[in-house]
Amino acid sequence: MPDYLNVIAGEPVAAQSGREFANRNPATGAVLHTFPNSDASDIAAAVAAARGAQREWARTPAPQRGEILYRAAESMRRRKEELALDLVEEMGKVLPEARGDVQEGIDMTYFMAAEGRRLVGQTVPAESRMKFAMSVRAPIGVVGAITPWNFPFAIPTWKLMPALIAGNSVVFKPSEFAPKTAWNVVQILIDAGLPPGVLNLVAGEGAEPGAALVEHPDIDLISFTGSNAVGTQVSVRCAEVGKQVSLEMGGKNAIIILPDADLDLALQGVLWSAYGTSGQRCTAASRVITQRSMAQEFGERLVEAAQGLRLGPGTDLGTDIGPIINPRQLEKIAGYMEIGAGEGATLATGGRVATVAGHEEGYWFEPTVFVDAAPGMRIAQEEIFGPVTAVIPVDDLEAAIEVANNVPYGLSTSVYTTNVNAAFRAMEELRTGLVYINAGTTGAEIQLPFGGTRGTGNGHREAGTAALDTYTEWKTIYVDFSGQLQRAQID
């Protein structure tokens, strides 16, 4: 029997096949826990439970739904350190970042709990006499949520909390590399009073459980965060079967540094954005765009600072960069070193798989800086998802904006400048969902929409009240109390 089980209809359940998989610590390679290795039959059971519970959950007054979320947020707040330590152990990010990951989930849960008192619709004047016109939000039905490993607490709350407050039920398939944190989130909600079947957890390795969720006819919406390649497949299949889909995919984010910028501040922003979470963020700054007059100076400062960063386990408070999530990702990052050098970029520091004393079985990669990179190089176009950034020289602000925009993704961009005119021009012309001025490319707050353009997503947004648009449908209602037939525009 696995150490942890699926949660279906409020009950702990093993995989019907009896299979299980191991959850490993990326800093040591050691097995932490075992989980059910679920397949399509387990997904089907979870969907049936969710479908059975959804109608009564939707009938539950939204303020009462909000009270459950509020109790869950209170529990998360009390258990924050415990939850962060679990996250560090299975995912590897350093403890201060793990606390931030959990705090973001706490913030989102409180925020969506309060939406139970709002769920704002519209009332507008009707064209006819003695007629009332309004619109309200209605739940979509059963949501399939597929989440990644890099923000294993925060990202599930971005999906689960708006879906639940709106009256949907959910089947939740987390990443196989962070199942314990997902289990923690689900158990907290159940302990807070969520009725059986409203939220179901199905763990599993590989593509089968996620694909089964996409294929199941009783899933009304798929909410997916992950790679562009997989997200595109999900989008195509959902279109074929007529299923709604919300996609949050990759990024190839840039920090633009202008000559008038505070370079010390800009350097701090690049270090945090490029190497935080070992570069394993969709908002990571894997491009630094500078004007040619300052590219060499800033590149040298960045190299020196990167060389001072310390690799190590996330629980060591002296650690700056934790492990890479798994050997496959480590191999992918290493492969880009040869690609970058072959394209003509200069590998200024890093570029190697590393070893950490006492943690030789962990998955480590040195903080890496390429300089003299060109905008069209693969290292400047493709998402590497590791502690790697490339310095790209350009002539001026206009060229910097063009280079920043000329990638397949459109998630986050940052500009460092003290020139207010340059800042506003950049805010207007950068084609990304997030724009930062004098801050790095990461650090979004939950009260505003999160998401991107082009290959980053399909137009939906997570967080803020905009998230409710994903998990609700508009229902327009007309109440005619005139006692006679009124034919709108005809009369």
Query: What distance in Å separates the CA atoms of residue 480 and residue 132, rounded to the nearest whole number?
Result: 6
Query: Can 282 be counted among the known catalytic residues?
Result: yes
What does the block give as tokens for 411?
């998630």
> In sequence order, which residues have a C-beta less than 8 Å from that of residue 41 and are 6 or more positions away?
16, 17
Nearest to 430 by CA among 449, 450, 411: 411
Nearest to 153 by CA among 186, 124, 120: 186
Q: How far apart are the first and last CA of the chain?
A: 70
Given the residues 238, 282, 366, 383, select the one marked as catalytic.
Answer: 282
Q: Residue 414: CA atoms inside 13 Å, Cβ hemisphere, count?
A: 31
Query: Can 248 be counted among the known catalytic residues?
Result: yes
Count of CB atoms situated within 10 Å of the CB of 449:
16
Nearest to 148 by CA among 172, 181, 187, 178: 178
Cα of 130 vs its chain's centroid, Å: 47
Given the residues 89, 115, 248, 366, select the one marked as catalytic.
Answer: 248
Q: At what angle do helices 95-115 and 154-165 cross, to 10 degrees?
A: 10
Query: What distance in Å separates the CA atoms of residue 213 and residue 381, rounded to the nearest whole number?
Result: 31
Query: Residues with catalytic annotation?
Result: 248, 282
